[in-house]
Amino acid sequence: MTTAPSAEEQFDEKASQQLEAVYLTPDVIEQRERVMALLAPRTGERALDIGCGPGLTTEGLARAVGPSGSVLGIDIAQPMLTIAARRCAMLTQVAFKRCDVNALAAADASFDVALASQVYEYVEDIDGALRELARVIRPGGRAVLVDTDWESAVWASSDERRMRRVLETWNEHIPHPQLPRTLKRRMESAGFRGVQVAV
């Protein structure tokens, strides 16, 4: 089995622009709206957007928390941060920082809410990253993590063997292609309470 390339290696400038285009499709917009409704950010809250990508969730969080709140968008890929900073340039409550989820550049209990979409499946040390997330969320704060169990992907194909090869190859590009199966238990072990699962 080959080693998966790092998230930083996978999201160069071209890949970042392609991902931004995908994030602007109707299906992904709908998913983002559902995720924001689950998180329910409120005016004045301090929000963390983990793996902020092209800044679409960062922008949504900023509008929800308003000028009296704050949003920190973090990503490991500089091209993503560049796109996100351009998108949120007029939102003074937003800041961006390049950092790794295993070493969040924030004090304990810095945030009321945190959001991460399709991030943790890319993280090698998932348990350490979840402990780090628990550290920066205030007691009683909220976090929503969205990841995909790629075994649940259904692709219609007349060539089942080829489809299986494509799925197996896809699974090699991330360290945790079936993360949702263990995420609840891992979050509880990291110190989160009241963990709920939604599909």
Place of tokens 């190859």: 169
Average pLDDT for residues 56-69, to the nearest whole number? Answer: 95
| Tens of pLDDT, residues 73-114 | 999 989 889 999 999 999 999 999 999 999 998 999 999 999
Rg of the chain, C-alpha, whole Å: 17
Per-residue tokens: 74 = 């973090």
Average pLDDT for residues 11-20, to the nearest whole number? Answer: 58
- Residue 62's pLDDT band, with cuts at 50, 70 and 90, is very high
CB neighbourhood size of 16 (10 A): 21
In the chain, % of residues over pLDDT 90: 57
- What stretch of H or E contains 56? helix 56-65
Task: Please state the separation of Cα 166 from the chain's center in Å.
Answer: 24
69: left (phi over 0), alpha (psi -120 to 50) or beta: beta
Is residue 1 over pLDDT 50? no
CB neighbourhood size of 160 (10 A): 9
- Collapsed DSSP state (helix, strand, coil) of residue 160: helix
- Residue 40's pLDDT band, with cuts at 50, 70 and 90, is very high
Please name which of 3, 169, 163, 144 lies closest in space to residue 60, comparing C-alpha atoms: 144
- Collapsed DSSP state (helix, strand, coil) of residue 70: strand
| Tens of pLDDT, residues 133-183 | 999 999 999 999 998 887 777 777 788 888 888 877 776 777 788 888 999
